[in-house]
Chain A
Amino acid sequence: MAGIIAIYIYGRENSRLFHAVNPEELGNVCDIEMFVFCSLDIVDEKVVKSNEMYLGQLFTDQRYKSFGFVTNTGVKIVLVVDFLNSTLKDQDVRSIFKRFHVFYCKTISNPFYTIGSPLHSRWLDDGCKEIFAKSE
């Protein structure tokens, strides 16, 4: 999938649980993180008005655009995409969120994982490899 910049997962109290940045964008990590923080604010606003987990597009600054997703347990996922990207459709974004929600479920099923602490699992790693692959 072209143009996926980063994916961030936050817990209910806004603690960062997971983040992955496209290897081609590692030079812009600071900007990306600022962008994600702004996006999180929008998540908090949108979540109250939304009646589904997928929040749609959150924010854009002419370089990036972000999409949001909140689970019933308050876990937030933010997907950062290249602003110029036009191939990524709404259903593709929904599908990415759904897959990462499943990865999250699998990761917390590890009894040695403490809920609320940083997430590490092969599903998340493989999922990230997949969405960052095939960048033009």
Chain B
Amino acid sequence: MSIEGEKIRMEAKEKWGEIAEACVDSSEVEQYTGLIHKAFAHANSETQLETIGFRVGQVLVEKVSKDSPKLVTELEIVKFICKEFWSAVFGKQVDNLRTNHQGVYVVQDNKFTTLRCFPEGTQYVKSSGRFLALPCGILRGALDSLNIPAIVTATVESIPAVKFQLQIAAKA
């Protein structure tokens, strides 16, 4: 965990942040696998929290989906995540779901549970990011168990509203 290594990682992460915003097509995501690895595959607290969340999501989704009807299409699965899974794990359903029908989903939760006790507004937006690593991991683990490998990132514009981006990996 050298200082230089941290610097490279931060730069890669910022670059990815810009690219992720502009990404419309999930196939574009794959060009950036190298960058994503640089940005995220490094053992700092955020990646560790994400890894911890991944395992939790894998198990939780089995329990929550146990009593739900059979989920077949990708859209059914994402809707399940946004409604039943979100309610069970985060205490409420999401407020908005958008998709470009090409593997990119944007999920909006205006009162995300993790940030519900944080001071509202834009003052702590930057430092709130690390608290979202665990939920992102949970979502990625849940999707993975439902056979939807994806990259999950979160952005905060104003606490406690959070936007999650789900970028579904294109099937080989």
Contact = CB atoms under 8 A, between A and B. Distances in A.
B70 A12 contact: no
B66 A71 contact: yes
B65 A72 contact: yes
Contacts, number: 43
B172 to A, nearest CB: 14
A108 B62 contact: yes
Contacts of A53: 70
> Chain A at the B interface: mostly helix, strand, loop or mixed?
loop
Of A74, A102, A105, most buried by chain B (CB within 10 Å of CB) is: A105
Interface residues of B, number: 16
Interface in B132-151: 145-147
B123 to A, nearest CB: 36
B59 interface: yes
A105 to B, nearest CB: 5
Contact of A12 (B69, B71, B147): B147
A72 B71 contact: yes
A105 B70 contact: no
Contacts of B68: 72
A17 B145 CA distance: 15
Contact of B62 (A51, A105, A111): A105
Nearest to A12: B147
Q: Specify which of A73, A101, A105 lies most central, judged by the most chain B CB atoms within 10 Å of its CB.
A: A73
Contact of A101 (B66, B69, B145, B146): B66
A73 B62 contact: yes
Contacts of B55: 111, 115
Contact of A109 (B59, B65, B69): B59
A101 B146 CA distance: 16
A59 interface: no
A45 to B, nearest CB: 16
A75 B61 CA distance: 13
Interface of A: 12, 50-53, 71-75, 101-102, 104-105, 108-109, 111, 115
19 contacts: A12-B147, A51-B72, A52-B70, A71-B65, A72-B61, A72-B68, A72-B70, A73-B61, A73-B62, A102-B66, A104-B62, A105-B59, A105-B63, A108-B58, A108-B62, A109-B59, A111-B55, A115-B58, A115-B59
